Amino acid sequence: MRWRGFGVVAAAVLVTIVLAGHRLIPDMGGNPGSVIETFLPWLGLSVPMLAPLGWWRRPRVALPAVLLPLIAWLVLFGPALLPGDERQDLVAVQHNASDENRDPAGTVRELLRVSPDLVALSEVLPEALPAYDAAFGAAYPHRVVHGTVALWSRYPIAEEAALDIRPRAFATDWNRGLRAAVRTPYGDIAVYVAHLPSVRMGVTGFATAPRNESAARLGAALDAEPLGRVLLLGDLNGTVDDRGLKPVTTRLGTAPAFAFSWPARAPVARIDQILGRGLTVTSLWSLPRTGSDHLPVAARITF
């Protein structure tokens, strides 16, 4: 009887330590830190699992212990439960449209339901580009494409260039980044569109090196950006909690939100991001499914 409920207490303390100290988990031997950070919000499910066990085993000891992971989770993710801020000067959409998407027109129709001012797409193949252009139509007369990433805008694009975020080991034809200066009614903003390399889970663990190298190059470009207002729209193949994206997430911010975007059939993580500097992402949410394996994400932005 003396040790009754000890397992529940130990599990609750362990989950609390992981939530509060996930940055301290060493990223070696398969990058366990990045794996945990990718699915960090889901540790909150431990609370409804442990609470009945605590009540059954030893409620006076176990139930107070179960409050520890609940408090830690609320500190980290509680703001994402609050209603989003409805203020907006711009609406932006980010979507990995998939190079296997058979319905570009239907995809664009879904994206335009939120009346965005800026739409960034990745995995846009050259042969699909005319279909996307036709679907966006005259309401989005300004467009820039580099490699397989593209940006459509209601507002003029004053400058545009490819953004070199290619990992050293990748072939020179790998081109998944662009930078554009967009002239909005609120002033010029630098809009970055990026699609970082995929990560892979294998027998040796979570392979993140190319993604991390590309994120470091993107962070360096953000440091060198001359405009004070910056918006990044991209499939970063990582969540904002993933330490591999620190070169980006320490320079830009976003709204607290879950807005899971991948995989589209049963989303468990938001790896598609909208982040800003010198402006505020006031709310972020995911949109209904398209012909892609990702869900689109949309954001309200204020200056």
Q: What tens digit of pLDDT does each residue of 199-209 get? A: 987 666 778 99
More confident residue, 152 or 25: 152
> CA–CA separation, 42 vs 40, rounded Å?
5
Supply the pLDDT for residue 203. Answer: 62
Round to whole Å and give the CA distance between 1 and 12. Answer: 19
Q: Residue 5: which of 51, 50, 52, 54 has the closest Cα?
A: 54
Give the domain range for residue 235: 90-302
Do 214 and 289 reside in the same domain of the chain?
Answer: yes
Q: Which of 32-36, 178-182, 204-208, 290-294 has the lowest mean pLDDT?
A: 204-208
As to burial, measured by CB atoms within 10 angstroms (0-12 exposed, 13-18 middle, 19+ buried), residue 167 is middle
Structure-token pair, residue 69: 């992971």
Average pLDDT for the chain? 93
Query: In this model, does residue 4 exceed pLDDT 80?
Result: no
Query: CB–CB of 146/177 below 8 Å?
Result: yes
Same domain, 36 and 170: no
Do 129 and 252 reside in the same domain of the chain? yes
Residues 6+ positions from 95 with CB-CB distance below 8 Å: 107, 111, 119, 120, 121, 122, 272, 287, 290, 292, 294, 296, 297
Shared domain check, 244 and 157 = yes
Q: Which of 4-8, 24-28, 89-93 has the highest mean pLDDT?
A: 89-93
**Using 50, 70 and 90 to split pLDDT, how confident is the model at 116?**
very high
**Residue that is last in its domain, among 64, 81, 98:** 81
Query: Is 70 exceeded by the pLDDT of residue 61?
Result: no
Structural domain total, the chain: 2
- Check if the beta carbon of residue 69 is closer than 8 Å to that of residue 46: yes
Query: What end-to-end distance do the CA atoms of the chain give, in Å?
Result: 61
Instruction: Give the lowest-confidence range in 59-63, 166-170, 280-284, 297-301.
Output: 59-63
Q: Residue 1: inside a domain, yes or no?
A: no
Asked if pLDDT for residue 81 goes beyond 80, the answer is yes
What is the share, in percent, of the chain residues with pLDDT greater than 70?
94
CATH of the domain at 267: 3.60.10.10
Determine how many CB atoms are found less than 10 A away from the CB of residue 89: 15
Helix spans in the chain (H): 6-21, 32-38, 46-57, 59-77, 104-111, 129-136, 209-223, 246-249
Res. 299: pLDDT tops 50:
yes
Q: Say what the pLDDT of residue 8 is.
A: 83
